[in-house]
Amino acid sequence: MTERVSTGLPKLDAMLGGGLLPGTLAVVYGATGIGKTHLGLTFADHGRVADGARGIVLDMNGRGDSQQHDEYAARLFGWTLTAWAHTVTPMSDPYPPAGQMEAFYSNALPWVGRLRDFQVPTPDGFVEFDWNWKAMYNHALYTLRPFMYFHFAAGTRRVVVDGVEPMDPPADSIQVFMFDELYRKTIHRDAETLGMEICLPVWKHRGFIDAHRYDHARITTLLLVTTEETRLEDLLARKVATGDVGATANTIVVLGSERVGNRVARMLCVVKHRGSAMSDEIVEYRIGSRGIELV
């Protein structure tokens, strides 16, 4: 039987045929306030039990901690969710201070909006990224790439990316562009190669790189995407738009609301789960003092 990655919610794991598949991308769609952040933090925290290390959280919301990651983590899991600040520029000392390895949160990529907001026309009629923005973006990567690399080297096998906002089509979103770049070039980059790119000069840090190799194909990513649709029925009928990361994701979960009698209920459904049996149920869930609970 294929090894699974538990979400930390037993009933959802059962709906997923035992959990997520290692090394894959799962996308959770739902309107703001529906419970995506609760689900993401549950998944990240459960790494402490399942993998021996919590998952890391990348907040791409761009409006500070409006999603209350720190408050939720503290209340639900007794987890002090502090921000990673260690930056590794080329040829600088790469190793983070000891306290930074307890920092599982980063908001180093705060940009939102359309791609064209960050692009400029060229004389030959094409467009390219504005050099000033590109410089800021690359400098942010000097913080974000070590954040991921050193946590992966220490045993983290879960990544939660939160705060991707609605955009029609998604291909126009700077957030989707940044996530795609990050997913391909950092999260699923060979550990030795990534280590050699961060720990320079390589000859000086070869021992650390060799001693901390990990299998990037075992890192599971959960991407939380905010939608304009709020009702579950509308989410199930949602069309795949150009550039939608859900088109290539292994797993898709949707969270939406529906009227049930005289109240509005939160409902969950797994609509895609490649490589495994999955439940076709629509189940109700609630968010209480212990976080997200499937009914």
User: Is 47 within 8 Å of 56 (Cβ atoms)?
Assistant: no
pTM: predicted TM-score of the whole model, two decimal places = 0.96
User: Six-digit token pair at 244?
Assistant: 């939608």
Task: Say how many CA atoms lie within 13 Å of 134 toward its Cβ.
Answer: 6
What pLDDT score was predicted for residue 242? 82
Determine if the peptide bond prior to 146 is cis (ω within 30°): no
What pLDDT score was predicted for residue 61? 80
What pLDDT score was predicted for residue 230? 95
What pLDDT score was predicted for residue 64? 55
CA 273 vs CA 18, 31, 223: distances in Å: 11, 21, 15
Separation between Cα atoms, residue 264 and residue 141, nearest integer Å: 42
- DSSP state, residue 188: T
What residue type is assigned to position 168 of the chain? D
What pLDDT score was predicted for residue 62? 64
- DSSP state, residue 8: S
Separation between Cα atoms, residue 249 and residue 27, nearest integer Å: 7
Separation between Cα atoms, residue 93 and residue 75, nearest integer Å: 36
* Of residues 1, 9, 77, the one with CA closest to residue 222: 9
Cβ contacts of residue 9 below 8 Å, gap of 6+? 39, 42, 292, 293, 294
* Spacing of C-alpha 204 from chain mean position: 32
Cβ contacts of residue 66 below 8 Å, gap of 6+? none
* CATH number of this structure's domain 10-294, picked from the four choices 3.40.50.300, 3.20.20.140, 1.10.8.50, 3.30.870.10: 3.40.50.300
Outline where the chain has alpha helix (H).
Answer: 10-15, 36-50, 69-77, 131-153, 174-182, 191-198, 202-211, 232-236
The mean pLDDT values, 10 residues at a time, for the chain of 295 residues are: 87 96 97 94 96 96 70 94 96 95 96 95 91 97 98 98 91 96 97 98 98 97 96 92 90 96 95 93 93 93
Q: How confident is the model over 203-249, as pLDDT tens digits?
A: 999 999 999 999 999 999 999 999 999 999 999 998 888 889 999 99
What pLDDT score was predicted for residue 55? 98
What pLDDT score was predicted for residue 63? 61
What pLDDT score was predicted for residue 12? 97
Strands in the chain per DSSP E:
25-30, 56-59, 105-106, 119-121, 127-129, 158-164, 220-226, 251-260, 263-273, 282-288, 291-294
What pLDDT score was predicted for residue 1? 46
